[in-house]
Amino acid sequence: MSEATGLRQPKKASADLFRKLGVEPVPDNEKVQEAIRHLDDFRFRVRSFVMAMESCVKCGACAEACHTYLGTRDPNNIPAGRVDLIRKAYKRYFTVQGQLFPGLVGAQDLDLETIEKWYSYFYQCSECRRCAHVCPFGIDTAEVTFIARQILYWLGIAPQLHAATAEAILRTGNHMGLTKAGIEDTLEFLAEEIEEDYDGLKVEFPVDKPNSDILYVPSSADFMLNPNTLKGAAMFFKYVGANWTISSEITEAGNFGYLSDQSRIQREMVTRLFREATKLGVKKIVWGECGHGWRAAKMYPPTVSDLPGVKRIPITHIHDEVEAYIKAGRLELDPKRNDRKVTLHDPCNYARACGHSDNMRVIMNAVVPKGAFVEMKPSREANFCCGGGSGILFDDPDMYQFRILASNKKAEQVRETGADTLCAPCSICKAQLYPMVKEHKLPVEVVGLIDLVGHALVFRD
Amino acid sequence: MDLIIGQILPYTAAVVFIGGVTWRIWRWMIPRIVHNITLSPWPASWSAAIVWILWQFATFWNLLKFDRPLWAGAWFMHIALFLMLGGHIAAFYTVGLQFHLMAPGIITPEMSLALSDWIGTVLGLIFLVALLYLLGRRLVNEQVRNISSASDFLHLFLLIGIAALGNIMRLFPDYHLGYAPVREYLAGLFLFNPQPLPDHTLFIMKYTLVMTLMIVFPFSKLMHSFGFFWERWIVNRPYKEPARGLPGARLQLRK
């Protein structure tokens, strides 16, 4: 718990860090007014926000749908309750009934205490959209979380993790702050590993190669945490003989801007992406394994950027391409190499925002032996979040404890499958599931999907 | 009394209801749908999207799938409400002869009146029972009680009041009021030819509650009946995937 507020809150970024990001933190005595001004602005701009504010009937169907509520049993973590933290002020200032009868309709003046609650609870929401999937109206709580986090950011309130990542993005174009030298170093090492592990197979990892046809955008976390995902992608490109490259300017499939500052950092990432794609002359951008980042890259560029490249250079996910090659019968795969009992965790953004439920299964069934793949219950678009969605991967003891609580449901699901391998093709899921598996004592190895593809590819040259 | 409840209030309620609903929807139309935030798997086309939205509307599909106990109350309550709204209009307009007018050769006027009575009675009871069930749920279920405010209960009380009065007038002959006097009075309102309110206490009570509901409607969560379509229009829309295949690769999808 935060000592100052008694709420579960991640460590806040300092004022100095915010200034580096171009945001002057708003003094406490002006925060409330400023927040109201921003709310007033959003209600004339974003319809998904207004409908979430004005359509809820408080039926409670969302409660049992939210893994955060299931893990914490805190009424403010019921999606409708969480949104109410903003809705109470919205009603108070922007509706007739809230101005006339605040007590009756549950309207409330905004105060600093509530803003602290926003910070606590909108950073416990993982923007997984399971509530939108379950809500009879389709009210999307993630839309409110986006706006709450944006307003907090403008006030100068954000987790250290998100602000530091934003700063790394501005500096290097990736979350981990990797430099070109570091990137090349790691990739060289991975190429050697592949050569050793796969009978002298020579795989190249081109970086910033001009006149490439394909720009592959991996998650920067893959360089540290999930190297097998990078290897799998490189082996696939090698197999199909693609003229591909990684850009050191945008070595990032994720987009933390999308999760805390959509107004600037998210745009910055999109701008960088198309600047680099244009510079390298690529004909197609292929995305690596990252859930929120893939949603930000697939669904948002046309509406966050008016750069000409956005309309001209198509973006697909590496799963899309692998699936198409498998369906066309163009890949020789040996499922026996992945002889293990594997289950698939559908990353929220893939399943509920990007339409990937099918392609992940086409790939999975082609790379593991028949009968080795067990479905979780529920799965696909009804799947539960890993508990780390939207980058709430905080390490301070209190928040770490929360992450483990928020993954209770996931642990239960995984245990029921009896699998020994948990495939989670998303960087945030992986980063959340490594510790989750340990804390919940699950006897599973966490892997990516492309890892399994690379491992099963049969090279005959 | 007759002037205020019988003549002034009805027009006020109608103006507030129609004007208020229009104003709310007008306001919803000002902010844009900024990004495509469709929920996947998304519908293949706009027509498929509309079919899906109407399917959700007619069946309360999500509740049926994810919260069966809530569905049991909510769906029956709403279906009964819709059918009764239609029934009230038809029955008062035709003085209970609606079924006779639909199939004159088959259904006699007497049969039509009996049908109207029966269907109305059954729906009225379903409506009341479903409302009481939903009220009970809101009180007993801790999660729902936690997120409820006073107005959530008041809306239920208002509807329960209307349903209860209607059922009393329907079930107890002493309190019954036929179609004809109400029709005469309502016709007066529609034709701006004022007619006195039927002299019937329960009717006047129920009628006042209905007008209260109309006035409250645009300023409450009852707007969800329209909000449903505006919200679903945002989250259930088609998306076109870019073509697959890697340009310039040695191995192409087609040989």
Long-range pairs, A89-95, Cβ under 8 A, ≥24: A89/A35, A89/A36, A89/A39, A89/A114, A90/A39, A90/A43, A90/A53, A93/A36, A93/A39, A93/A40, A94/A39, A94/A40, A94/A43, A95/B219
Give tens-digit pLDDT for B217-252. 999 999 999 999 999 999 999 999 999 999 999 999
What would the mean pLDDT of A62-91 be, rounded to a whole number? 96
- The whole-chain average pLDDT of chain A stands at 96
Tell me what pLDDT residue A92 has.
Answer: 97
A6 band by pLDDT with thresholds 50, 70 and 90: confident
Q: Do the Cβ atoms of B147 and A75 come within 8 Å?
A: yes
Which chain B residues have a beta carbon less than 8 Å from that of A49?
A: 31
pLDDT for B255:
77
Non-local CB neighbours of A418 within 8 Å, separated by 6+ positions? A341, A374
What is the rounded CA–CA span in Å between residue A78 and residue B229?
A: 23
* pLDDT for the residue numbered A3: 65
Q: Is B64 exposed, middle or buried (0-12, 13-18, 19+ CB in 10 A)?
A: middle
**CATH 3.40.50.1860: does it fit domain A168-323?**
yes
CATH number for the domain harbouring residue B17: 1.20.950.20
Q: Is residue B252 part of a domain?
A: no
What is the pLDDT confidence band of residue B199, given thresholds at 50, 70 and 90?
very high
* Chain segment B58-68, per-residue pLDDT in tens: 999 999 999 99
Question: What local confidence, expressed as pLDDT, does residue A12 receive?
Answer: 96
* Mean pLDDT, residues A425-444 taken together: 96
CB atoms A78 and B143 under 8 Å: yes
Range with the lowest mean pLDDT among A221-225, A312-316, B251-255?
B251-255
Which backbone phi and psi does A392 adopt, to 5 degrees? -90, 55
Strands A373-374 and A315-317: unpaired
Task: Name the DSSP letter for residue A447.
Answer: E
- What does pLDDT average to over chain B? 96
Q: How much is the average pLDDT of A336-352?
A: 97
Burial of A290 from C-beta contacts in 10 A (0-12 / 13-18 / 19+): buried
Rounded (5°) CA angle A345-A71-A372: 20
A240, amino acid identity: V
Phi, psi of B111 (to 5 degrees): -60, -40
pLDDT of A390 over the 80 cut: yes
Burial of B160 (C-beta count, 10 Å sphere; 0-12/13-18/19+): middle
Pairing mode, strands A421-423 and A373-374 = unpaired
CATH, domain range A332-456: 3.40.50
Q: Under CATH, what is the fold of the domain A15-158?
A: Fumarate Reductase Iron-sulfur Protein; Chain B, domain 2 (1.10.1060)
Give how many domains chain B has, as a whole number.
1
B158 within domain boundaries: yes
Which residues of chain B does A138 touch, with a Cβ-Cβ cutoff of 8 Å?
39, 56, 231-232, 234-236
Per the domain annotation, does B251 fall within a domain?
no
| A147 contact residues in B (CB cutoff 8 A) | none
Chains A and B form CB pairs within 8 A to the count of: 217
Residue A294 pLDDT greater than 80, yes or no: yes
| CA–CA separation, B158 and B210 (whole Å) | 8
Assigned token pair, B2: 């007759």
Strand partners, A287: A217, A317
Residue A1: the pLDDT is 63
CB B148 within 8 A of CB B138: yes
Tell which residue, A84, A126, A12, has the closest CA to residue A389: A126
Strand order in the sheet with A214-217: A244-245, A214-217, A284-287, A315-317
- Out of A65, A133, A314, name the one closest to residue B242 (CB): A314
- Choose the closest CB to A106 out of B141, B151, B250: B151
The helix or strand, by DSSP H or E, that contains position B68, with its residue range, turns out to be: helix B68-94
Q: CA–CA separation, A151 vs A459, rounded Å?
A: 52
pLDDT digits 0-9 by tens, B89-103:
999 999 999 999 999
Q: Which range of residues forms the domain containing residue B142?
A: 2-32+58-235
Residues B164-188: tens digit of each pLDDT: 999 999 999 999 999 999 999 999 9
- Start and end residues for every CATH 3.40.50.1860 domain found in chain A: 168-323
Question: Are the beta carbons of B245 and A84 separated by less than 8 Å?
Answer: no
| pLDDT tens digit sequence for A357-368 | 999 999 999 999
What is B160-223 written as a DSSP string?
HHHHHHHHHHHH-GGG---HHHHHHHHHHHHTT---PPPS-HHHHHHHHHHHHHHHHGGGSGGG
pLDDT attached to residue B2:
84
Q: B208 in a domain, yes or no?
A: yes
Nearest to A243 among B33, B149, B248 (CB): B248
Residues in CB range of A241: below 8 A, 6 or more apart: B249, B250, B251
Within-domain flag for B37: no
What is the pLDDT confidence band of residue A5, given thresholds at 50, 70 and 90? confident
Instruction: List pLDDT tens digits, range A192-232.
Output: 999 999 999 999 999 999 999 999 999 999 999 999 999 99
SS3 content of chain B, % helix, strand, coil (to 5): 75, 0, 25
**pLDDT exceeds 90 at position B1:** no
Residue B124 included in any domain: yes
From CA A186, how far away is CA A206, in angstroms rounded?
12
Domain-embedded: residue B40: no
Average pLDDT (A170-175) is 96
Classify residue B42: in a domain, yes or no: no
Mean pLDDT confidence for A64-85: 96
